[in-house]
Amino acid sequence: MFLPQEIIRKKRDGQALSQQDIQQFVAGITDGSVADSQISALTMAVYFNGMALEENVHMALAMRDSGRRMQWSDLNLPGPVVDKHSTGGVGDVVSLMLGPMVAACGGFVPMISGRGLGHTGGTLDKLSAIPGYNPFPSPDEFRRVVKEVGVAIIGQTSDLAPADRRVYAVRDVTATVESVAMITASILSKKLAAGLDALVMDVKAGTGAFMPTMEKSVELAERIVKVGNGAGVATSALITEMSQPLAWTAGNSIETREAVRYLKGDERNPRLHEVTMALCAEMLVVGKLAKDEAEARDKLQTALDSGRAAEIFGRMVAALGGPADFMENYDSHMAPAPIVRPVLAERAGFVGGMDTRGIGMAVCALGGGRRLPSDELDFRVGLSRFVELGQRIDAGAPLAFIHAADENSFADAERRLKAAIQLADAAPSALPLVYQKIRQQ
């Protein structure tokens, strides 16, 4: 007889849970026979006592198996099924370029992405700024677009890893979100359900990162790599910098515009370009589409220079209901904010530091992010043309431009932005864009 309290007791007392324990408990989460209070008790026990690697693999697989699993073998795809997942940040628009770039190099990218919550922007929200784009196609339509275009970026449907959705809701209100074991199981359950051959994790570090310290970021990355490989998916990770916005923009339609300009070669933020190339190259290597990073970067640059990656993005948008002429006329399809004005520096100096989380919260306060999952977004608003760490600026020079719906929200964002950008008398030391690469030993 299955008794949830006995499994909770084992983990509370520091014992390892068996595969059967975990499968039974997750099955109870899915069918409702395990109560929220019991989920809360187990996740708190895991928070304090952790999970051995084998337990974590079983938890990720059990949550994967709580719903539908995507299958690709019957499509006879001529390349690997690969994906990337980021722990989130500000101006992290990488996915919009990465999917088409990897597809242009022979990969197939079924990217199941999330909406933003808190200070981090969501990939799904950026694509939802495109009129007509359908982020929730049927499974058959999703598979068709991946096969024909090479990439489809959609949202998580209710039948993919449903146990994780319930567990996360409980963790969110019981102060157990930070458990590395549970974060790992949550991320991987959804990615494993997508039927991947290879996965690359982008774990952020810095003032805009989800994990509070570099040590925690490395711990999470190492755990995801071990559990992902233990679950049968070739997994690696990069630790990347998030002590300032990654792109020149933050906000949904504004970031989508930057992604289009990047793919078309109109302009490419050097920091955004380097992180995007590093992640794409790792996907090609782990997916066995390139023998090493140098070959991968050559292929990716060709995909950009030839226009192939831009063409694939346009085809994906059209295939999922967006405008057929989006790449040529993107500005006409996304309305600008009524107010676009700069925030001016009150003194001369060097940009010495940024509270990147505070910058993300300024976008939220404008209406470009959510405080609650049910909040409606204003896709028009956000920030653009940021100064960068170490840059010298004069008094009265722009720190950034605010795209606002009205004067009150402009004033609020201006106050937040001035508080988030610190000016100093000397330039800070430069930070690396990629701190380290973590692969299976």
Catalytic positions, written as ranges: 83-86, 123, 171, 186, 190-191
Provide the 3-class DSSP secondary structure of residue 196: coil
* Tokens linked to 302: 């060709």
Residue 84's DSSP bridge partners are 200
Rounded Cα distance, 129 and 148, in Å: 23
Contact between 145 and 109 under an 8 Å Cβ cutoff? The reply is: no
Rounded Cα distance, 315 and 352, in Å: 42
Rounded Cα distance, 263 and 180, in Å: 35
Q: What angle do CA 133, 137, 142 make, to 5 degrees?
A: 110
Helix (H) or strand (E) holding 405: none
What are the start-end ranges of the H helices in 252-307? Answer: 252-264, 270-286, 293-305
Q: How many CB atoms lie within 10 A of CB 168?
A: 17
Residue 350's DSSP bridge partners are 392, 424
Contact between 296 and 281 under an 8 Å Cβ cutoff? The reply is: yes
* Tokens linked to 102: 């990897």
Helix (H) or strand (E) holding 181: helix 180-193
Residue 145's contacts (CB-CB under 8 Å, 6 or more residues apart) are 137, 151, 152, 316, 319, 320
The per-residue DSSP string of 343-381 comes to EEPSS-EEEEEE-HHHHHHHHIIIIIS-SSTTPPP-TT-
- What's CA 44's distance to the chain center, in Å? 25
Helix (H) or strand (E) holding 240: strand 234-241
Contact between 355 and 419 under an 8 Å Cβ cutoff? The reply is: yes
- What's CA 126's distance to the chain center, in Å? 12
